[in-house]
Amino acid sequence: MTEQQTDTSTVGDCDTDADSASDTDSASDADAARVVIVGGGVAGLTAATFTARAGLDTLVVDTVGGSPAGGRTESGDADPSGDRRASGDLDESILARNAHLENVPGFPGGINARQFLDLLAEQAEENGARRRTGRVADIVRGNNGFEVRAVARDDDTRRFRADAVVAASWSDASYLHGLGVETREAGSKEYVVVDEVGRTNVDGVYAAGRIAEKYHQAIVAAGHGAEVGLTVVHDSDVPYYHDWVTPEGYFTDRGREVPPGCEEIDADERARRHAAGRERMREALADPHPEPQRTHPSLVDDELGRLNE
């Protein structure tokens, strides 16, 4: 196994001092992050998990802003109403329409697609990714990186500053037009042109999943999201080798330091994590998902396509 060197070309330190920002970046109410990911579906949440685990402050901006089981407030706290419609925008991952997800590795009996989305959201958040609600309208580049402008549920414009942006939304790339990102139109869809690891023609801008014209399958979106997330990490100034947890001594007993991004854990900690993981999955899958099945919205009188069963 050859150690991969980190490319330090594009993702620098985000300057959170509004006084030193350009006009484009001067808003004191703008949230700052190293990485802003547009879209909270499979690709976006997977990318967020990898960038956050590598130590890059990561912010996911999505029209829903929470899991299918319930909305989230702007602070990221659970919405006590438990109704994702509280966000004021009824978009959600199209995966929620899947009746039973049967082709994702690791679930031989399949899994409820909405439970799968919940787990992805929880995993991203528990690894440090933050989430905000809003429909991204445009992105501009200033002296301190990018400013992502999103329309929130109260029609106010929210602004988020970032060193890098990952487009992981549905195949509408209109919010990238001002950056000069290369796209390709295909009927009603507009895809972002990327290289083999998710970089666009604009430094610091990446695309993952369906918007990058990847196959319309959950596992493909997850894989590409992970790959693009790792590309962002390797393009940053964060020392990084692999995201890999090993048994104690795997590196150190061979006279090596534990590489950046890796971790050695002893037998007790390994047993604790195994037990916690088993319990977590038992809790997650113990009961039916509380949200109703979705279908295509054109088939029912409901904007989300919820079936009345």
Per-residue pLDDT reduced to its tens digit, 70-99:
333 344 433 333 333 333 345 688 899 999
252/256 Cα distance (integer angstroms): 5
233/100 Cα distance (integer angstroms): 33
Contacts of 34 (CB under 8 A, 6+ apart): 11, 13, 14, 51, 56, 57, 58, 162, 163, 164, 236
Condensed to tens digits (0 to 9), the pLDDT of residues 185-196 reads 999 899 999 999
pLDDT score, position 65 = 55
Pairing type for strands 157-167 and 145-151 reads antiparallel
- pTM reported for the whole predicted model: 0.85
160/30 Cα distance (integer angstroms): 5
Under a CB-based contact definition with an 8 Å cutoff, are residues 92 and 64 in contact?
Answer: yes
Under a CB-based contact definition with an 8 Å cutoff, are residues 181 and 201 in contact?
Answer: yes
Condensed to tens digits (0 to 9), the pLDDT of residues 231-248 reads 999 999 999 999 999 999
Domain with residues 18-240, CATH architecture: 3-Layer(bba) Sandwich (3.50)
Q: Where are the domains of the chain?
A: 18-240
Angle, CA of 141, 142 and 143, to the nearest 5°:
140
The rounded Cα 53 to chain-centroid distance in angstroms is: 12
**What residue ranges in the chain does DSSP mark as E strands?**
31-38, 58-62, 130-133, 135-142, 145-151, 157-167, 183-186, 189-192, 205-207, 244-247, 262-265
Under a CB-based contact definition with an 8 Å cutoff, are residues 262 and 85 in contact?
Answer: no
pLDDT score, position 78 = 36
* End-to-end Cα separation, the chain, in angstroms: 53
pLDDT score, position 309 = 84
201/77 Cα distance (integer angstroms): 36
Positions of the chain with pLDDT lower than 70, given as ranges: 1-30, 65-91
pLDDT score, position 143 = 86
